[in-house]
Amino acid sequence: MTAEFIAYSGFSALLLALGVARANESFASERERMVREQIEGRGIRNRDILRVMRATPRHLFVPKAFQALAYDDYPVPVGFGATISQPYIVAVMMELLEPSKQHRVLEIGTGSGYQAALLSQLVTCVYTIEIVPELAETAGKRLSDLGYSNVVVRQGDGYDGWSGQAPFDRIIITAAPPEIPKALIEQLKPGGRLVAPIGSGPMQQLVVLDKKPDGSLHRSFGPMVTFVPMRSVHN
């Protein structure tokens, strides 16, 4: 191996490292802009939510072809008919969910794993279910590779929930069922809360379901949203 080749190889590696560093710096700047303009600018005040959205590399949760769009103000496709939700809607749903460090959370609709990654920094553990095998596999690997060790990914039907790990302090659904699945209500702990987009039309309404300590249910409502339909093997 010639000295010229070694020098060339070293220079190429340096250029690659500089390119990666500049890309990361650019994404960090875009992420800060996203939080400042789209999240804080629209009234989200929860400091913990703002912190984790600033810290989490959203661009690593979208296909490379769409990474330049990762911090823009709309959902981005992640394959198999799924999307990573608009940043503001992600923040709104987390604020409605009111996650806390001692909570065990069930997420229905893993997608790329972005929502689970955010929640994992706010709670004890996230159990997340994805019906599409390919998405479940890639999200599980991505979350593991990025160090989100308190997220457990399972491929399965979200309508059935995860009875083996129930009850849950919090449940969040990131696709739209026409009604809240009965199994998920049963798996919600008394004193717990569920947040989901509910409806079968082109737009749905965010619903907050609180299960009181005596088991009674109370519904309140958030904004209108647009999510992909929640899939099931049963229909």
66, part of any domain = no
Strand order across the beta sheet in which 104-108 lies: 151-155, 125-130, 104-108, 168-173, 188-198, 204-211, 217-225
Which of 12, 85, 120, 163 is catalytic? The answer is 85
**Domain boundaries, position 116:** 81-225
Q: Which residue has the higher pLDDT, 33 or 21?
A: 33
The per-residue pLDDT for 4 is 54
Environment class of 131 (CB within 10 Å of its CB; exposed 0-12, middle 13-18, buried 19+): buried
The per-residue pLDDT for 166 is 98
10, part of any domain = no
The per-residue pLDDT for 201 is 87
pLDDT (tens digit, 9 = 90+) per residue, 133-176?
999 999 999 999 999 999 999 999 999 999 999 999 999 999 99
User: Tokens 């990361």, residue?
Assistant: 24
202, part of any domain = yes
Q: Per residue, what are the HEC states of 102-134?
A: CCEEEEECCCCCHHHHHHHCCCCEEEEEECCHH
3, part of any domain = no
Confidence of residue 24 (pLDDT cuts 50, 70, 90): low
61, part of any domain = no
Which DSSP symbol is given to 40? G
Confidence of residue 2 (pLDDT cuts 50, 70, 90): low
**Is residue 207's pLDDT more than 70?**
yes
149, part of any domain = yes
Q: Any catalytic annotation for residue 85?
A: yes
Which residue, among 173, 79, 67, has the nearest Cα to 135 in the 3D structure?
79
The per-residue pLDDT for 25 is 76
The per-residue pLDDT for 1 is 53
The per-residue pLDDT for 8 is 45
CATH classification at residue 205: 3.40.50.150
65, part of any domain = no
**Is residue 41's pLDDT more than 50?**
yes
The per-residue pLDDT for 167 is 98
**Strands 188-198, 168-173: parallel, antiparallel or unpaired by DSSP?**
parallel
If one counts the domains in the chain, the total is 1
Q: What is the mean pLDDT of the chain?
A: 91
Segment 76-101 shows an average pLDDT of: 96
- Report the percentage of the chain scoring pLDDT > 90: 87
**Is residue 132's pLDDT more than 50?**
yes
Q: Which of 5-14, 87-96, 102-111 has the lowest mean pLDDT?
A: 5-14
